[in-house]
Amino acid sequence: MRSGSNSEAMSLPDFSRSQIGHYRNKREIIRLTAQQVIRDFALFGIEVTFSGDTLNAYDELFEQLASCLTELLDTDYRKLLALLYHIDISENELSKHMAHCTQDHPELIAGMILDRELKKVLIRKFYRG
């Protein structure tokens, strides 16, 4: 049994999808998220660019990711799964979202990736201060 009160324990902020929305408007978080996306995709030989325009960053990244994901879904599903695994989106999570989704799969996956990459940035900032 752990000693100490609950107030002594560090609690992780709520990074659920509904709670992270306001971070999407913070320039530093936007830049860090774009950098994270660029790094993760580069590991798989996929170039993603970011103009630096923080006002349109998510639309800019979303369009590029949806295009890349369309190609991966059509030509290299194993590479897609490896990329998602690296980003920390499981095949089970992907299947669950795809089964309950009305939007096109590349758009769904692009949204999942941007959410996960944003959460990575927020968690890193939380622990590093």
Structure confidence at residue 2 (pLDDT): 40
Q: Give the chain's domain count.
A: 1
> Alpha helices of the chain — where are they, by DSSP H?
27-42, 57-75, 77-87, 91-99, 105-128
Q: pLDDT per residue over 78-115, tens digit each?
A: 999 999 999 999 888 888 877 877 778 999 999 999 99
**Position 13 in a domain:** no
Q: Is residue 52 predicted with pLDDT exceeding 80?
A: yes
Decide if 2 is inside a domain: no
Asked whether residue 12 is assigned to any structural domain, the reply reads no
Question: Token match 């590479």: residue?
Answer: 79
Q: What is the mean pLDDT of residues 19-47?
A: 88
Q: pTM to 2 decimals? A: 0.81
Residue 96: domain span? 21-128
Residues 10-36 have a mean pLDDT of 73
Indicate the range of 8-17, 56-65, 74-83, 90-99 predicted with least confidence.
8-17
Q: How confident is the model at residue 49 (pLDDT cuts 50, 70, 90)?
A: very high
Answer yes or no: is 16 within a domain. no
53 near 79, Cβ under 8 Å?
Answer: no
4 in a domain, yes or no? no
* Residue 123: inside a domain: yes
Mean pLDDT in residue range 57-80: 96
Reference 62, options 73, 48, 72, 79; nearest CA is 48
